[in-house]
Amino acid sequence: MEQTTLIGLIAACCTTAAFIPQVIQIIRTGNVDGISLHMYSIFTFGVSMWLVYGLIVQDLPMILANLITLILAASVLGLTIYKRLKKPTQVTTMDLAPNA
């Protein structure tokens, strides 16, 4: 294995692994309040484009990193959407007041 490929694989592992704590935290706590849907939507699309690019140029570190990152980023995005849609709406005292 070439040294540049090894460096690429190490970098890919480190940057990809950075998403794992976020996925675990969402699964454990169910809290997605601090997650930006816009950021994760754009990021997930961007990662999918990097994956396509990596496939075209046949760059193994790029393919592996972006495939795994795509799975993790899509998990954060999907869990965030799911949790926000599932979140019950808050009832205020105005909602409970009789109609005048």
**pLDDT, tens digit (0-9, with 9 covering 90-100), for 8-42:** 888 888 888 988 999 899 999 989 999 999 999 99
Return the structure tokens found at 93: 């005292």
Q: What is the pLDDT of residue 4?
A: 87
Of the candidates 66, 89, 77, the one whose C-alpha atom is nearest the C-alpha of residue 36 is: 77
pTM of the model: 0.74
List all residues 6 or more positions away from 41 whose beta carbon is below 8 Å from its beta carbon: 77
The CATH-assigned architecture of domain 3-83 is Up-down Bundle (1.20)
Distance between CA atoms of 83 and 26, rounded to whole angstroms? 9
Q: State the pLDDT at residue 15.
A: 87
- HSE, CB side, 13 Å, CA atoms: give it for residue 26: 21
Tens digit of pLDDT for each residue in 60-95?
A: 888 989 999 999 999 999 999 999 998 776 655 555
